[in-house]
Structure 1
């Protein structure tokens, strides 16, 4: 377990999310589909939200690093494969189950699920590279 790799993986995931949900990429469509409003309450709690989001991403990177160790993934390809399998087995299945009951637009689901897939695969690559 490399603490630097875990922190770097979490930071990279956050940066990816910043761009993924920016106006340059999927941000406009995501806001429209999600009905998200930049309310005063949201602006006041933005610091808390991003802090908690980063802490959760750190936890995700830590757990992924444990999966990497258990599977003995050492190459970038193996790291992305472990990331993909974690996404497929845990993230995607949880997101699909939730989506079945929320009745939200499929395109919103695709934007979010694709981000989660890319983020965890990139984290897997970083963790493998720096392990």
Structure 2
């Protein structure tokens, strides 16, 4: 099973598409800015290249790791020592892959595991930070909701795109 770098790239870029919608002033942008105490003028002063460049790097890292969470066959590959060990695998691995090679490789299944990743990873992390930062639940729901949506979309793209 080889990496699908195009799917990973598209999944990473999906965070920008959703972010432009999610944080639009007509959706959650105005509420989010109020909750963090930022003005439009302050937002415009930010270094766009740094912000969007690092956002892409981090989104790519997330998308790259999502394949291990949403594609079950990655676990089987990991159990034999990774792709470099494929030439010396036992017949049981080959039989498993013959039986289950594309099992559960769908957009729907990836979305399920992406959603679960958002609920069980992103939500607790954002919530813990928000609690210690003494943010309101409104802020936590906006931030965590964004990541649940992103991870759901990333999981869908990465698992379903063969």
TM-score by length of 2: 0.73
2:117 counterpart of 1:86: yes
2:60 counterpart of 1:29: no
TM-score by length of 1: 0.89
1:21: Cα distance to partner?
0.2
Partners in 1 of 2:130 and 2:42 — Cα distance? 24
Greater RCO, 1 or 2 (C-alpha within 8 Å, sep 6+): 1
Q: How many residues align?
A: 130
Moved more, 4-13 or 69-78: 69-78
Structure 2: gaps of 5 or more residues: 74-102
* Among 40, 43, 47, the residue aligned to 1:45: 47
Partner of 2:10: 8
Partner of 2:128: 97
Moved over 3 A (4+): 70-73
* Among 58, 61, 68, the residue aligned to 1:59: 61
Partner of 1:122: 153
* Among 18, 21, 40, the residue aligned to 1:19: 21
Partners in 2 of 1:62 and 1:124 — Cα distance? 10
Q: Is the 8 A contact 1:75 1:128 kept in 2?
A: yes
Tell which structure's C-alpha radius of gyration is larger: 2
Partners in 1 of 2:126 and 2:104 — Cα distance? 26
Structure 1: gaps of 5 or more residues: none
2:139 counterpart of 1:77: no
